[in-house]
Structure 1
Amino acid sequence: MRILANDGIDPIGKKILEEAGFEVDTQHIPQEELADKLNAYDAITVRSATKVRQALIDACPNIKAIGRGGVGMDNIDVEYARSKGIAVVNTPAASSHSVAELVFAHLLNGVRFLFDANRKMPVEGNTNFGALKKAYAAGVELQGKTLGVVGFGRIGRETAKIALGLGMDVVYYDLFAGPAALTLTFSGAVQVDIPVKQVTLNELFAASDFISLHVPFLDKPVIGKDEFALLKDGVGLVNASRGGVIDELELLKALDSGKVAFAGLDVFDAEPNPRAEILTHPRISLTPHIGAATNEAQERIGEELAGLLIETLKK
């Protein structure tokens, strides 16, 4: 059986599949050519770039499985594929810690102005050092502050664990009832249960010094014009989930007014062509959708995805 890893797969995952008797092709086929070429394969794996929509599914009746290397499956028409008897699998656990660490890269970046300092020091550091030092002198600590986590699945909980380890308080919102505490493991052996508090979304907006979003985009932003009015003055926001979860135009207004102190964005409304105003704003920390892009996460994703495809295709 042949598998097309159209957005790539970690070498470990490829090796596992090949040892199980599958042929794995990592040659990328452009989206517009997939309908003509995908019938040469029995399964396809994708990340976020390749779209597997109804028209492609209808054009490729040979496909028995679709694998998503990562969490969100909004680039796949999941229910339609399953209605056609195609198995759809993803790897929700493999990248959780990597995304959570990136959230804190943005948070630490924001509270100490590193994103702006790294823009200005190369061009002004030897002529305007004193003024830059003064400009970045009002940093704040994360310890003792409250982090609000919107969406308390695997990634949200990993984010909360890092916050607790840094001495932050954690409140969270989720559609479903969640835990009253999380277990932190130190040095591989010492475990400590630390309380977290589930609240309503409006309570989270009012209580949080920093907010991290871990939800899919549905039909409207989680934080739009009305929600910005509910936030604490000087709040910091991080979105490493999906573009559209924060209304970008309202975010720009909130940054300019000082309502929001800074934002950290790994995802954008118009990927792969984000708004220029977002990319050039002096109070936004930016990364190009790399939440799961660590060597460790990609190895875990490759291993998990290989195992799921073997289980699915050898039934």
Structure 2
Amino acid sequence: MPTVLISDKLSPTAVDIFKERGVDVIYEPDLGKDKDALLKAVAEVDGLAIRSATKVTEKVLEAAKNLKVIGRAGIGVDNVDVPAASRAGVIVMNTPFGNSITTAEHAIAMMFAVSRQIAAADASTQAGKWEKNRFMGRELTGKTLGIIGCGNIGSIVASRGIGLRMRVIAFDPFLTAERATEIGVEKVELDALFRRADVITLHTPLTERTRNIVSEDAIDTMKDGAILINCARGGLVDEAALRAALDSGKLGGAGVDVFSEEPAKDNVLFGAPNLVCTPHLGAATTEAQENVALQVAEQMSDYLMRGAVSNALNMPSITAEEAPILTPFVTLAERLGSFAGQLTETGIKGVRIEYEGDVAELNLKALTAAAVTGLMRPLLQDVNMVSAPTIARDRGIHVEEVRREQQGAYENYIRLTVKTERQERSVAGTVFSDGKPRIIQVKGINLDADFAPNMIYVTNQDKPGFIGNIGTALGEAGVNIANFTLGRAERGGEAICLIEVDGLPDPSVLAKVEALPLVNQAKALSFG
């Protein structure tokens, strides 16, 4: 009988489901707060069910010799070292849709609390004061609501805002114009949202691209008196800049449910005027807790008892019979998507995935899901192979599959083409007999390269001097070149260079490369 350790507070429903499915349960809801005790407790268990308090580090994974699956009751897995779990052969599951309505409602509640100064008015009234003239609020009706991140939760907030007769604008790189029209929002660029919105609410994951997306400069461009709501992730907002804006009156108020460091017992924001804070309550309703508890217990039980995989961030949903044949192509599809996603900076309208040769006869569901996951993960780190197709559909991104018989030199061939608002970009690859995926074409230019952990992608003009200049520039910056691949459309024309390096280069190094003669573009790529 497999054993699951529940190390955070989880609904009793989860315990009941585990037992009903034949899984033994150790319920220690405060264990996640004690790092040393956790290291001892995970040594023999097969599964670990958590919320946000338990930090699953590489050290915890090393101690968990028998661990097979981690189940996160909720969407965010920033408290789990997913790469380390993957290396250890541990599946990481989440429950991406169980608390969407609850989180959206909390954001709306925060808007009302801040605009009507409810927290301060309550404290004043219960203190025996009657300061009716002090708490002059503002209506939300007719105001402009700006939503950063219009996915599952953001679109629910949008519908509630429209119900309040607000004008709703949204910034989301994956939101198409058609989907925006469908849900009744106006799609805008980020700087326009900052300038126009009376209320700004965040519903995007924390990635390197979104960290401090609300910066000091962004706040300077906002309307005087604007309200900021963050019920998404700590780290999206520069907290010191927000405090200064509240103190100066630049912003009219803020509602903050998440902090850069949690639990937040001493934060620069505390004590600011017209600030409403809650202790990460976005998903804290009875209904949401029941939903995610039920989902995580069912998912983990199905895997431990039957081998079924669902909502996994680091493993495709495929059967045991398909796995030996399909897995190398799942890896290829995911990396082709990641290649394109790391280079895409504008809104995605559609994706075409072409399968040629023997691979076209396989079950393409997992392959297409892997490709879309890789494409979206640079901006949406919590996306997985189950949620990716739904997220693409919700954002109006058309995903097209094309099957064809072998036509070229390769027995198996996958080409992924991304259609954005500005251009189309394609990348193709294959799997050789050794099972390793390879890049064989970029933007129609033939080449042959590995998906290395760290790479520099360069577009350039095929003229003498380029190789010497880029080699010198990287050498002077202390960047060691492990491999160097070139491809060109024609002599003297457009060319592409893929450089494998020993570590991810600093932005300053990329800027120097991009400034070289004959270089058009330089981007860092990473494949874990």
TM-score by length of 2: 0.55
2:20 corresponds to which residue?
19
Aligned partner letter, 1:123: A
Contact 1:87/1:312 (8 A) holds in 2:
no
Q: Which among 146, 149, 152 is matched to residue 150 of structure 2? A: 152
Aligned partner letter, 2:141: Q
2:190 corresponds to which residue?
201
Which SS does the other structure have where 2:169 is aligned?
strand
Aligned partner letter, 2:10: I
1:213 aligns with 2:202: yes
1:1-315 map, 5 Å? 1-27=2-28, 28-29=30-31, 30-125=34-129, 129=130, 132-137=131-136, 139-178=137-176, 180=178, 194-219=183-208, 220-313=211-304, 314-315=306-307
Deviations 1:224-248 (A, max 9, x none): 1111111111110011111121111
Aligned partner letter, 2:197: S
Contact 2:155/2:183 (8 A) holds in 1:
no
Aligned partner letter, 2:234: G
Cα gap change, 1:274 to 1:198, in 2 (>3 Å): farther
Aligned partner letter, 2:109: A
- In the alignment, the residues of structure 2 paired with residue 177 and residue 79 of structure 1 have an alpha-carbon distance, to the nearest angstrom, of 28
Superposed displacement of residue 146, structure 1: 1.3
- In the alignment, the residues of structure 2 paired with residue 232 and residue 312 of structure 1 have an alpha-carbon distance, to the nearest angstrom, of 50
- In the alignment, the residues of structure 1 paired with residue 199 and residue 178 of structure 2 have an alpha-carbon distance, to the nearest angstrom, of 20
Deviations 1:143-167 (A, max 9, x none): 1111111112221122112111211
- In the alignment, the residues of structure 1 paired with residue 90 and residue 166 of structure 2 have an alpha-carbon distance, to the nearest angstrom, of 44
Aligned partner letter, 2:199: F
Of residues 270-279 and 2-11 in structure 1, the stretch that sits farther from structure 2 once superposed is 270-279
Contact 2:147/2:202 (8 A) holds in 1:
yes
- In the alignment, the residues of structure 2 paired with residue 2 and residue 66 of structure 1 have an alpha-carbon distance, to the nearest angstrom, of 12
Deviations 1:160-203 (A, max 9, x none): 121112111211112313464579xxxxxxxxx65112221111
Aligned partner letter, 1:168: M
- In the alignment, the residues of structure 2 paired with residue 73 and residue 276 of structure 1 have an alpha-carbon distance, to the nearest angstrom, of 23
Contact 1:207/1:232 (8 A) holds in 2:
yes
Deviations 1:21-43 (A, max 9, x none): 01122113222222222022100
1:190 corresponds to which residue?
none
- In the alignment, the residues of structure 2 paired with residue 48 and residue 270 of structure 1 have an alpha-carbon distance, to the nearest angstrom, of 12
Deviations 1:7-60 (A, max 9, x none): 032122221221110112211322222222202210001111000011211221
Of residues 289-298 and 4-13 in structure 1, the stretch that sits farther from structure 2 once superposed is 4-13
Contact 1:94/1:301 (8 A) holds in 2:
yes
Superposed displacement of residue 136, structure 1: 1.3
Superposed displacement of residue 279, structure 1: 2.4
- In the alignment, the residues of structure 2 paired with residue 307 and residue 26 of structure 1 have an alpha-carbon distance, to the nearest angstrom, of 16
Superposed displacement of residue 299, structure 1: 0.7
Contact 2:242/2:269 (8 A) holds in 1:
no
Contact 1:147/1:171 (8 A) holds in 2:
yes
Deviations 1:234-280 (A, max 9, x none): 11001111112111111111111211100001111232134354222
- In the alignment, the residues of structure 1 paired with residue 251 and residue 60 of structure 2 have an alpha-carbon distance, to the nearest angstrom, of 42
Deviations 1:264-304 (A, max 9, x none): 01111232134354222231011111110100001110111
Aligned partner letter, 1:247: D
Aligned partner letter, 1:163: G
Aligned partner letter, 1:249: A
Which SS does the other structure have where 2:132 is aligned?
helix
Of residues 301-310 and 271-280 in structure 1, the stretch that sits farther from structure 2 once superposed is 271-280
Query: Which structure has more strand as a fraction of its residues?
Result: 2
Aligned partner letter, 2:232: S
- RMSD between aligned alpha carbons? 1.8
- Number of residue pairs aligned between Structure 1 and Structure 2: 300
Deviations 1:65-98 (A, max 9, x none): 0011111110001122123221111011011111
Which SS does the other structure have where 1:133 is aligned?
coil
Identical-pair percentage = 37
Structure 1, unmatched stretches of 5+, are: 184-192
Which SS does the other structure have where 2:175 is aligned?
coil
- In the alignment, the residues of structure 2 paired with residue 276 and residue 82 of structure 1 have an alpha-carbon distance, to the nearest angstrom, of 34
Structure 2, unmatched stretches of 5+, are: 308-528
TM-score by length of 1: 0.90
Aligned partner letter, 1:266: D
Aligned partner letter, 2:21: A
Deviations 1:97-129 (A, max 9, x none): 11111111111011111111112122242xxx2
- In the alignment, the residues of structure 1 paired with residue 267 and residue 283 of structure 2 have an alpha-carbon distance, to the nearest angstrom, of 24
Which SS does the other structure have where 1:82 is aligned?
helix
- In the alignment, the residues of structure 2 paired with residue 197 and residue 57 of structure 1 have an alpha-carbon distance, to the nearest angstrom, of 45
Greater RCO, 1 or 2 (C-alpha within 8 Å, sep 6+): 1
1:189 corresponds to which residue?
none
Aligned partner letter, 1:134: N
Deviations 1:192-225 (A, max 9, x none): x651122211111111110111123334311111
Which SS does the other structure have where 2:269 is aligned?
helix
